[in-house]
């Protein structure tokens, strides 16, 4: 079992090489081509923008997810996502009923500072984040500290980052854009909606 990467306030565990290179390559190529990726609009401080990445939502029948003014009904799991989900559930010891997929097309695509603390996931959500494709930086800082210390981790092809406990209440996180040439990355965040 990996060690907790957080100094306090919840748990964050990085399972490197959770999937073999062959598995990771196969899942990346399959998802890249079989998922009907879409570009959503996002509302930030009353203004509407194109989201700086492509997304899709999959899950159990009747599930949905909402964040930043976006309401997404889940499409039923594909066979590929079911296989990935089963492995992640075995490794993390948690079951999930929904997955938000993000496609970062290049280094300009990103997700800004946020917490995954939507009410439908409960007070202490457990989220498993699968990375496929290019390595991207994942940064965290203590919530509400504008100039707080940044902790930076590399999320590599085939890895799983598990976030649980009080993490979403104490820490904010982001995947920053980069000016370096970088290939596409697919991120799958498995979650459990409880209401």
Mean pLDDT of 79-104: 98
Q: Which residues pair with 103 in a beta bridge?
A: 54, 186
The CATH code of domain 11-191 reads: 2.60.120.590
Reported as a single tens digit per residue, the pLDDT across 41-75 is 877 778 888 889 999 999 999 998 877 667 888 99
DSSP result, 70-113 = EEEEPEEPPHHHHHHHHHHHHHHT---SEEEEEEE-STT--EEE
> 């919530």: which residue's tokens?
143
- Tell me what pLDDT residue 49 has: 83
- Ordered by start, the domain boundaries in the chain are 11-191
**Looking at residue 19, what DSSP letter applies?**
S
Q: Are 33 and 52 in contact (CB under 8 A)?
A: no
Q: How high is the pLDDT of residue 97?
A: 97
pTM as predicted: 0.94
Query: Does residue 160 have a pLDDT over 70?
Result: yes
pLDDT digits (tens, 9 = 90+) for 161-183: 999 999 999 999 999 999 999 99
Q: Check whether 134 has a pLDDT greater than 80.
A: yes
**Residue 105 pLDDT grade (very low, low, confident, very high; cuts 50, 70, 90):** very high
DSSP 108-175: T--EEEE----GGG-SS--EEEEEEES-EEEEEEETT-TTPPPEEEEE-TTEEEEEETTHHHHEEEEE
Instruction: Provide the mean pLDDT of the chain.
Output: 93
pLDDT at 185: 98
Structure-block tokens of residue 184: 């596409």
């Amino acid at each position: 079992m990996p060690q907790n990467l957080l100094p306090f306030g919840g748990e964050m565990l990085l399972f490197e090489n959770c999937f073999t290179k062959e598995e990771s390559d196969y899942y990346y190529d399959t998802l890249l081509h079989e998922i009907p990726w879409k570009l959503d609009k996002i509302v930030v401080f009353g203004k509407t923008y194109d989201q700086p990445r492509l997304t899709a939502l999959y899950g159990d029948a009747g599930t949905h997810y909402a964040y930043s003014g976006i309401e997404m009904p889940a499409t039923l799991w594909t066979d590929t996502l079911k296989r990935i989900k089963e492995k992640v559930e075995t490794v993390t010891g948690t079951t999930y009923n929904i997955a938000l997929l993000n496609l970062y097309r290049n280094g300009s695509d990103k997700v800004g500072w946020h917490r995954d603390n939507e009410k439908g996931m409960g007070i202490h959500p457990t989220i498993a984040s699968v990375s496929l494709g290019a390595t991207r930086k994942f940064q965290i800082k203590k919530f509400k500290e504008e100039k707080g210390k940044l902790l930076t981790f590399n999320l590599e092809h085939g890895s799983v980052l598990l976030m649980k406990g009080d993490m979403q209440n104490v820490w904010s996180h982001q995947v920053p854009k980069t000016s370096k040439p970088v290939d596409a990355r697919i991120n799958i965040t498995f979650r459990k909606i409880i209401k």
